């Protein structure tokens, strides 16, 4: 069997992208990303999902390598975001008789994006499609992370084609499955992928996990990252914890600082956190670190401290943007503290207080507001804030 044959008759036909700089135009890709597609060869040949438009040729080549001059009977679309759907029209051109299988929302998008409204088959939740020795059953999992998202289960092989769920950034370098690859680089990239792309939709992920709980899974084929075989329970556990916004003991300090004064407050807080037994402390200078990584840290740790200078009577712009991203994801169950600075009229702390109130978090009451340079009194206030944060985290 070729390394790309995941189970007998189930083939990996996806591609690696090491060129794209930012996924969705937003999120950096230091390890690249894979767009995974799968081909099931049975009495009917079924393609599950496609790939980004830049890689259509390679997808077609991968398919031809398996079926030669044979044909494709069905294209199952689990997710319509263009990193998976952009090759649909080219598949249709090469295999004009192919039937496109999706739910009602999917097919509406197929028409909207690609002008295809014929030779389609609309499926409902729990409906099956017979393709020979196998049946494929479709489970609608809306808002993981688009409204049309669904998953496809092959009972005969106990394989779940999960769309973006259980996916991560990172190309598949040589190996395809977690048995063939060193998976170390993927775990952090899974948290970053989840927090950046799916993070807003925790309740929908929880609903999907409950729907899938009855399925026996030997293999999970996501649209990004390794095919999971021997690490399935770890992967499901990560998605379960992230979608419940469950986090580890530790503190993220995200701060803006133009000339280093607000940063001095951050340093003082960090030292005192450590002195009070917090080992996991991550400082992010918001002007330096991409928000993709700051969100990853915030999803990982229970404590969050944000610091900002006052800028044009508002928050420092990169801090304001970060609070917007946090708010959009409706991140729950965090212990929060904040601090700020100003030169002639304070506003940052006032804005952070409003942000704290809107998030409904457990908020440390002792915020610190500094005028101009740091003083022994401000240092002590920073330490008091840190002690209270550490005490609250240790109690949980």
Least Å distance between CB 187 and ligand FEO? 19
Is 192 a residue that touches ligand FEO (CB under 6 A)? no
Selected binder of ligand FEO within 7, 73, 81, 148 (CB under 6 A): 81
With respect to ligand FEO, which residue has the nearer C-beta, 149 or 381? 149
Structure-token pair, residue 252: 């993220």
Question: Which candidate, 145, 128, 146, places its Cα nearest to that of 137?
Answer: 128
User: Among 3-11, 81-89, 307-315, 330-338, which window interacts with ligand FEO (CB under 6 A)?
Assistant: 81-89
Selected binder of ligand FEO within 7, 49, 73, 83 (CB under 6 A): 83
Tell me the sheet residues that pair with 289.
none
Which of the residues 259 through 298 are near ligand FEO (CB under 6 A)? none
User: Among 76-84, 168-176, 322-330, 340-348, which window interacts with ligand FEO (CB under 6 A)?
Assistant: 76-84
Q: What is the DSSP string of 236-299?
A: HHHHHHHHTT--EEEEEEEE--SSSHHHHHHHHHHHHHHHTT---EEEEETTTS-HHHHHHHHH
Contact yes or no for 324/357 (Cβ under 8 A) = no
Question: Which candidate, 233, 172, 168, places its Cα nearest to that of 198?
Answer: 168
With respect to ligand FEO, which residue has the nearer C-beta, 24 or 117? 24
Paired sense of beta strands 150-154 and 159-163, if any:
antiparallel
Selected binder of ligand FEO within 11, 224, 302, 379 (CB under 6 A): 224
Least Å distance between CB 366 and ligand FEO? 41
Question: Which candidate, 140, 147, 297, places its Cα nearest to that of 212?
Answer: 140
Which of the residues 116 through 155 are near ligand FEO (CB under 6 A)? 145
User: Among 77-85, 120-128, 246-254, 334-342, which window interacts with ligand FEO (CB under 6 A)?
Assistant: 77-85
Dihedral Cα 49, 26, 209, 130, nearest 10 deg: -10
Number of residues in contact with ligand FEO under rule CB under 6 A? 8
With respect to ligand FEO, which residue has the nearer C-beta, 138 or 338? 138
Q: Which of the 8 DSSP states describes residue 177?
A: B
Residue nearest to ligand FEO (CB): 81
CB atoms within 10 A of CB 279: 9
Which of the residues 157 through 176 are near ligand FEO (CB under 6 A)? 164
Question: Which candidate, 287, 15, 330, 304, places its Cα nearest to that of 143?
Answer: 330
With respect to ligand FEO, which residue has the nearer C-beta, 11 or 145? 145
With respect to ligand FEO, which residue has the nearer C-beta, 296 or 308? 296
Question: Which candidate, 343, 344, 383, 341, places its Cα nearest to that of 366?
Answer: 383
Paired sense of beta strands 301-311 and 335-342, if any:
parallel
Is 49 a residue that touches ligand FEO (CB under 6 A)? no
Please enumerate in sequence order all residues whose Cβ is within 8 A of that of 243, keeping only pairs 6 or more positions apart, or say none. Answer: 194, 198, 201, 202, 203, 205, 206, 209
With respect to ligand FEO, which residue has the nearer C-beta, 167 or 256? 167
With respect to ligand FEO, which residue has the nearer C-beta, 224 or 334? 224
Is 84 a residue that touches ligand FEO (CB under 6 A)? yes
Least Å distance between CB 93 and ligand FEO? 23
Selected binder of ligand FEO within 48, 55, 79, 239 (CB under 6 A): 79
Greatest Cα pair distance in the chain? 78
Determine the Cα–Cα distance for residues 173 and 191; give it in Å rounded to an integer. 20
User: Among 5-13, 79-87, 298-306, 348-356, which window interacts with ligand FEO (CB under 6 A)?
Assistant: 79-87
Least Å distance between CB 81 and ligand FEO? 3
Instruction: List residues near ligand FEO by CB under 6 A.
Output: 79, 81, 83-84, 145, 164, 223-224
């Amino acid at each position: 069997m070729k390394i790309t044959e995941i189970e007998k008759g189930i083939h990996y036909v996806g591609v690696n992208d090491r060129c794209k700089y930012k996924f969705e135009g937003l999120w950096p890709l230091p390890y690249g990303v894979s767009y995974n597609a799968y081909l099931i060869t049975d009495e009917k040949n079924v393609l599950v999902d496609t790939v980004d438009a830049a890689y259509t040729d390679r997808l077609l080549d991968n398919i031809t390598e398996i079926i030669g001059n044979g044909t494709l009977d069905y294209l199952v679309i689990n997710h319509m975001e263009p990193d998976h759907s952009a090759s649909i029209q080219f598949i249709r051109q090469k295999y004009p008789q192919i039937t496109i299988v999706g739910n009602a929302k999917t097919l509406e998008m197929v028409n909207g994006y690609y002008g295809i409204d014929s030779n389609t088959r609309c499926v409902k939740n729990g409906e099956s499609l017979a393709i020979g020795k196998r049946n494929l059953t479709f489970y609608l999992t809306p808002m993981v992370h688009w409204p049309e998202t669904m998953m496809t289960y092959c009972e005969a092989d106990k394989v779940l084609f999960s769309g973006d769920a259980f996916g991560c950034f990172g190309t598949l370098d040589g190996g395809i499955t977690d048995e063939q690859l060193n998976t170390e680089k993927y775990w952090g990239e899974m948290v970053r992928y989840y927090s950046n792309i799916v993070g807003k939709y925790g309740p929908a992920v929880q609903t999907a996990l409950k729907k899938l709980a009855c399925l026996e899974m030997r293999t999970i084929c996501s649209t990004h990252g390794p095919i999971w075989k021997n690490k399935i329970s770890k992967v499901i556990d990560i998605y379960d914890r992230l979608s419940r916004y469950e986090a580890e003991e530790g503190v993220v300090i995200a701060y803006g600082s133009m000339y280093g004064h607000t940063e001095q407050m951050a340093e003082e807080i960090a030292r005192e956190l450590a002195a009070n037994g917090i080992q996991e402390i991550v400082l992010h200078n918001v002007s330096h670190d991409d928000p993709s990584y700051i969100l990853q840290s915030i999803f990982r740790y229970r404590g969050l401290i944000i610091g900002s200078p006052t800028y044009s009577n508002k928050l420092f712009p990169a801090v304001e943007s970060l609070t917007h991203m946090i708010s959009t994801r409706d991140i729950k169950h965090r212990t929060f503290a904040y601090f700020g600075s100003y030169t002639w009229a304070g506003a940052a702390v006032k804005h952070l207080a409003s942000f704290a109130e809107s998030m409904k978090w457990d908020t440390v009451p002792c915020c610190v507001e500094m005028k101009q340079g740091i003083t022994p009194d401000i240092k002590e206030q920073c330490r008091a804030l840190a002690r209270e944060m550490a005490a609250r985290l240790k109690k949980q």
